[in-house]
Amino acid sequence: MLILRSLEELSGIRTPVVMAVGVFDGVHLGHQRVIGLCREAAAREQAQPWVMTFDPHPLYVVQPATAPLLLTSLPAKLDLLTRQNVAGVMVVPFTETFSRLEPETFLDDLMRRIPALRGIVIGENWRFGRQARGNVALLKTLATQYGFHVQVATPLTWGDQTVSSSRIREAVASGRLDDAAAMLGRPHAVRGQVIHGLKRGRRLGFPTANLDLRGCALPPPGIYAARVRHASRTHAGAVYLPMHPEPQHGTLEVHLIDFNGDLYGQELELDFAAKIRDDTLRFPNEADLIEQIRSDVRRIREILA
């Protein structure tokens, strides 16, 4: 799968293209429906299916105060998109200058880059151009002028409501991990680099990897069972999400069960499997804390066995 990082790079595409366009944070089941329709349309048009997404999330540029916590980092999103059987992904840098483009200017630029554009597939709420002036109706009008088709995916519902990134974020934030997984089509996962922490876990006999996940959608504080991927291997993990994370020491700690090695600077990805308990217990001494951690680890082994 090709990954392009600027609109200029699209000029090298000479074959007919059908493009699924959206932010696709989470690449959830609703997003997968949009991309699936793109693949079907591309097959009918004897074209290549492509995905266009944006980085950073547009709200980080146009409304930073209301920008959401992300379900997927860009690398994680690209990994998920590689599983969607598309020819390539265009990652458009979403800058202040780009946000001020009129919808007509954006589409004219796109057509100059891909003269063989045969179709665009979007969700019904997608907006584009300055002040989000571009909507489905305008896109269809411009498509008639340029000679490509527009297909709007019908919303996917779960639990009588539309599957959306914002709804999944709310499920994660409230600890409803099963609901989030049902809408994502997989467990909610986070990915981050291991940074130096305070080494309290090592002193207690349960060394932890600290991940700085600021900006990521996380479940409520507590102890969780997780599957942790590192270097193409999966480990059982005991996750600690503290009530009040220490500044500059990460937002999450994970103990890789039965693992011994140096993880500093390396990347871990973990799936939240189940919550074990809240982060509300207080221990009169270190021995009681160690015994509770042993109990948590035993339970996590059973859950993930």
CATH number of the domain that 293 lies in?
2.40.30.30
Would you say residue 127 lies in a domain? yes
Containing H/E element for 168? helix 165-173
Q: Are residues 158 and 43 in the same domain?
A: yes
Would you say residue 83 lies in a domain? yes
User: What pLDDT score does 248 carry?
Assistant: 57
Question: By three-state DSSP, how is residue 1 classified?
Answer: coil
Q: Are residues 140 and 203 in the same domain?
A: no
Would you say residue 62 lies in a domain? yes
Q: Are residues 148 and 196 in the same domain?
A: no
User: What pLDDT score does 192 carry?
Assistant: 93
CA distance 129 to 107: 9
CA distance 116 to 42: 12
Q: Are residues 207 and 113 in the same domain?
A: no
User: What pLDDT score does 197 carry?
Assistant: 80
Q: Which regions in the chain score pLDDT beneath 50?
A: none
Q: Are residues 153 and 23 in the same domain?
A: yes
User: What pLDDT score does 249 carry?
Assistant: 60
User: What pLDDT score does 212 carry?
Assistant: 87
Name the residue among 223, 221, 200 with its Cα closest to residue 286.
200
Q: How many domains does the chain have?
A: 2
User: What pLDDT score does 6 carry?
Assistant: 86
User: What pLDDT score does 12 carry?
Assistant: 78
- End-to-end Cα spacing for the chain: 35
User: What pLDDT score does 246 carry?
Assistant: 65
Instruction: For the beta carbon of residue 221, count every other beta carbon within 10 angstroms.
Output: 16
User: What pLDDT score does 267 carry?
Assistant: 94
**Location of structure tokens 């980092």:** 73
Enclosing domain of residue 227: 188-304
User: What pLDDT score does 101 carry?
Assistant: 95
Burial 49-69 (b: 16+ CB within 10 A, else e): bbbbbbbbbbebbbeeeeeee
